[in-house]
Chains A and B, each alone.
Chain A
Amino acid sequence: MTYRVGSAQGFYGDNVLSALPMILGGHVDVVCFEALAELTLAILQKDKLKDPNRGYTFDLAIIASKILPEAYQRKIPLICNGGGLNPQGAANMVRDTAEKLGLKGIKIAAVTGDDVLSRLEELNEKGETLAHLESGAAFQPGDYPIANANVYLGAAPIVEALKNGADMVITGRVADPCLYLAPLIAHYDWAWEDWHRLAAGIVAGHLMECTGQVVGGNSLAVIDTLDSRDLNKLGYPIAHVEADGSFILTNTPGLPGIVSSETVKEQLLYEVHDPAQYITPDVVADFTTLKLDDLGDNRVRISGVTGKPRPEKLKLNLGRLEGYMRELIFTVGYPEAWKKYEQLKTMISETWRGLPIDRVEYSFLGINSLYGSVAPLPADPLELVIRVMFTAKDETTLKNAVRLMMNNGLSGPAGMSISGSTIGADPRIILGLYPTLISRDHIMPNIAYLEV
């Protein structure tokens, strides 16, 4: 018997209801939901500042009300890192929902300990320099306000919660593929030094953690073979994992999508640096030894994954509030489109003279906005859509900059227009991600259980 792991979420806002056909069809033994991109925790911090009971992903409410009742009835555990900055608050919400739905006997686990925002000074005093992972530069606490500081935890607390009978495990920052590794360790009792098997579980998780991306989403490989009408109906992936770690990756039966060697290769290298050293908190996986066998019928077998001992330190990401950005889109047309662009540029710099604006960047939509200098510029274009991006430390400066530009509405270059929806838009936060490493000794995950 293989153990079947389903993946029903790849980002905050994904279609978590894709878990239902997996569960109702009897196709999975556990379902994992991966909700946290690098930026997500900082977004959740904004929610938490407004309401201390929040700070978790809204998707969890859908999981609790629509998916948990079906999963609990069939004894299929659910694992989700969408607890974000408040796994305990999320667990409280799930418990309240379970109570209302009459799910007697249900056990919910909340994993905390990844959030070290309030401990940065203490960690600094304990000898953690928190030097920047890429540049090596020393940490300067006063540089910018810090929105969040979360350590990437591994699979261990989830494994413990599952072994203690949790029906749903809610975590904060757990490294994405470790969410999927955890139920495999719990089920097969893999040892913590069984590097090859742990690495195989990581590869399974890595392939599934972006849901639709391995069944034909975001895929050049299937651009000619996948029906466009199916793109919004893709099934999400399921791995059938053997005790030795080898597994068959497949789609949710009966749903559209393509799982082939080609789609698996695309996802295998997605967000990967050195493929021989894919670093996770639990193991360093080597993707260069594995073998893919396309078995047909949307089934690809992956075997031969090898692993090396886990890294000594854990990764810690700080999110720093560096300011705000704003977008305005202007259009000019033939004749003299380039001259009109130069006039606009001059008018903007004259108008904003004296305002504390940090950066102004220009690009031309449909010409070079994606590919910069790779794209050749036309000599005498019929139309130019000019995108102006500008930044400041505070929102008020950006609002003033827009207002002052609007005052020029009838004085600009001939035929110039401004996209109305960009005039009314809100500024967006600029978040600087600051990655660093931290000793494992300082991080003690905690598990709280709630029962109905």
Chain B
Amino acid sequence: MPKRLYDIAYGRTGDKGNIANISIIARTPQAYQDIKAKLTAERVKQQLGDLVLGEIVRYEMDNIEALNFVCYDALDGGGTRSLRIDPLGKSLAGALLYMEWED
């Protein structure tokens, strides 16, 4: 089994209109240093593929050792319009936590 982002972090998705935010919360201080250094917005964009059509912006929260990724045009028009089976993107964080992770 490859090591995955989920092994060093957990997270949750939230929605506002057609924007999803994915929090990635480090399990240890070392894990936070790792994700802060390597989990760039570009890598997240690459991992999420056609789930996110717009830009992805990364915010850092050193105080709680977490990153927040704001994903634009990420919910097929938003929860009230989306044709996806998970219109609010409740499970979206999982697509990112599934990323293979090399130390």
Give chain A's interface residues, CB within 8 Å of chain B: 38-39, 42, 134, 218-221, 261-262, 265-276, 287-292, 319, 322, 325, 359, 361, 363, 365, 369-374, 387, 389, 391, 430-433, 435
A373 to B50, CA, bound (A): 6
Residue of A nearest to B9 (CB): A220
A184 to B101 CA separation, bound complex (whole angstroms): 45
Report which of A271, A275, A370 forms a contact with B61, defined as CB distance below 8 A. Answer: A275
Alpha-carbon separation in the docked complex, A219 to B93 (Å): 12
Q: How many Å lie between the Cα of A213 and that of B94 in the bound state?
A: 17
Q: How large is the interface on B (under 10, 10 to 19, 20 to 34, 35 or more residues)?
A: 35 or more
Q: Which of B49, B83, B98 sits near A389, CB closer than 8 Å?
A: B83
**Structural contact, B12 and A433, CB atoms closer than 8 A:** no
Flag whether B25 is at the interface (Cβ < 8 A).
Answer: yes
Using CB atoms and an 8 Å cutoff, list the residues of chain B in contact with chain A.
10-12, 14-19, 21, 23, 25, 47-51, 59, 61-64, 66, 68, 70, 77-81, 83-86, 90-91, 93-95, 98
Given A266-B12, A269-B68, do A274 and B59 touch, yes or no (CB 8 Å)? Answer: yes
Contact between A361 and B83, CB atoms less than 8 A apart: yes
The residues of B that contact A267 with a CB separation of less than 8 Å are 12
- Docked-complex contact B95 and A288, CB < 8 angstroms: no
Name the residue on B nearest A42 (C-beta). B80
Specify which chain B residues have a CB less than 8 angstroms from the CB of A268 in the assembled complex. 64
Alpha-carbon distance A42/B78, docked complex (angstroms): 14
Given contact pairs A287-B61, A374-B98, enumerate 12 new A-B contacts (beta carbons under 8 Å).
A134-B17, A220-B93, A261-B64, A271-B16, A271-B21, A369-B86, A370-B86, A372-B50, A372-B51, A373-B51, A374-B47, A432-B77
Q: Is the CB of B12 within 8 A of A431?
A: no
Nearest A residue (CB) for B80: A431
A134 CA to B72 CA in the complex, in Å?
10
| A220 adjacent to B83 (CB under 8 Å) | no
Of the listed residues B18, B63, B94, the one surrounded by the most CB atoms of chain A closer than 10 A to its CB is: B63
Please name all residues of chain B whose beta carbon is closer than 8 Å to the beta carbon of A291 when the two chains form the complex: 63
When distances are taken between beta carbons in the complex, the residues of chain A under 8 Å from B78 are 38, 432-433
Contact yes or no, B10 A220, CB < 8 A: yes
* Residue in A39, A269, A319 whose beta carbon sits within 8 Å of that of B12 in the complex: A269
A221 to B25, CA, bound (A): 9
Query: Which 5 A-B pairs give the minimum distances between C-beta atoms?
Result: A271-B14, A269-B23, A373-B49, A389-B83, A431-B80
**Cβ–Cβ contact A359 & B81, under 8 A:** no
Contact of B90 among A218, A269, A369 (CB under 8 A): A218
Interface pair A387/B64, CB less than 8 Å apart: no
A433:B98 contact, CB within 8 angstroms: no
Minimum CB–CB distance for B5 against chain A, Å: 12
Complex Cα distance A288/B21, Å? 16
- Subset of 9 A-B contacts with CB under 8 Å: A220-B10, A266-B10, A266-B25, A319-B80, A369-B86, A371-B98, A372-B49, A374-B49, A387-B85
Is A272 within 8 A of B90, CB to CB? no
- Is the beta-carbon distance between B91 and A273 smaller than 8 angstroms? no
Chain A residues closer than 8 Å to B14, beta-carbon distance: 269-272
B-chain residues with CB within 8 Å of residue A134 when the two chains form the complex: 17-18
**In the complex, which residues of chain B have a beta carbon less than 8 angstroms from the beta carbon of A431?**
80-81
**Cβ contact within 8 Å between A273 and B12:** no
Chain B residues with CB under 8 A of A219 = 12
Q: Please state if B94 and A371 are interface contacts (CB–CB under 8 Å).
A: yes
B47 to chain A, nearest CB (A): 7
Residue of B nearest to A221 (CB): B10
Q: How far is the CB of A397 from chain B (nearest CB, A)?
A: 16
| A374 near B15: Cβ-Cβ < 8 Å | no
